[in-house]
Amino acid sequence: MSGLRIAEIFGPTIQGEGALIGEPTVFVRVGGCDYRCSWCDSLHAVDPAYRGTWRRMTTGEVWAEVERLSGGRPLTVSLSGGNPAIQDFGPLIALGRAAGYRFACETQGSVARDWFAALDTLVLSPKPPSSGETVDWDGFAECLAAARGCGRVVMKIVIFDEADYAWARAAATRHPDLPLYLQPGNPVVDPEAPVEPQSLADSLLWLVERVTSDGWFAPRVLPQLHVLLWGNKRGV
């Protein structure tokens, strides 16, 4: 069966994290991932147990839904997941860009695609030790090479603990030219569980103090605003 595997399409809402934080965005969240991070906050788009909830959609169907949600007014479309790079979003990007929309893609950087070059923003999020995954830096470099021509490429790293922090410093040394965004991990992944805004503030404060006390001024440090706004609720 052909087509794109889509977990959900929702918005417009604001991008809650990273380089495009605050930007009005429609999200196309794909189903399927080559990773299984221990703290994944999007299991419904990753765990094959949820496969029955994913829809097979043609590029035209996905585009029609983005147009409907945005009222036909160009905005940023974020391809997230799961890992969008295991599917072919080249035709969707071409369709959308012809209509004046901008495209961002968030991926761990494990699979390179030629359509990376057609993006406005590529966010590569290599996963730190707490994820239980291991980064293939050669694959990551292939993603960077594929993205030549892309508007901009940034690196985003989630930090849960000291080991992640040390790992992020090493990753930054490896790719000093990539703008870097750090974000405290969200230990609450149950969509039904409440998230206390204060705990979000506390984890951000820890990371801000960690970075500034080290005199490490290269990364931007940002929280997940969508968690502040909506907890772990889906579709927002």
Query: Binding residues for a copy of itself, per CB under 8 A?
Result: 11-14, 21-24, 70-71, 73-76, 181, 197-198, 200-201, 204-205, 208, 211-212, 215-217, 219-223, 225, 228-229
Closer Cβ to a copy of itself, 163 or 201, answer by number = 201
Question: Least CB distance from residue 178 to a copy of itself, whole Å?
Answer: 16
Question: Least CB distance from residue 58 to a copy of itself, whole Å?
Answer: 25
CA 186 centroid distance within chain:
14
Question: Least CB distance from residue 10 to a copy of itself, whole Å?
Answer: 11
Closer Cβ to a copy of itself, 24 or 191, answer by number = 24
Task: Give yes or no for a contact between 8 and 45, defined as CB atoms under 8 angstroms apart.
Answer: yes
Q: Residue 75: what are its φ and ψ, rounded to 5°? A: -155, -170
CA angle 114, 144, 220 (to 5 degrees): 130
CA angle 188, 170, 220 (to 5 degrees): 60
In this structure, the chain runs to a length of: 236
Task: Give yes or no for a contact between 143 and 174, defined as CB atoms under 8 angstroms apart.
Answer: no
Question: Least CB distance from residue 156 to a copy of itself, whole Å?
Answer: 11
Question: Least CB distance from residue 16 to a copy of itself, whole Å?
Answer: 10
> Where do runs of H (alpha helix) occur along the chain?
59-69, 90-98, 137-146, 162-174, 197-213, 225-230
Closer Cβ to a copy of itself, 76 or 87, answer by number = 76
Closer Cβ to a copy of itself, 52 or 215, answer by number = 215
Closer Cβ to a copy of itself, 52 or 71, answer by number = 71
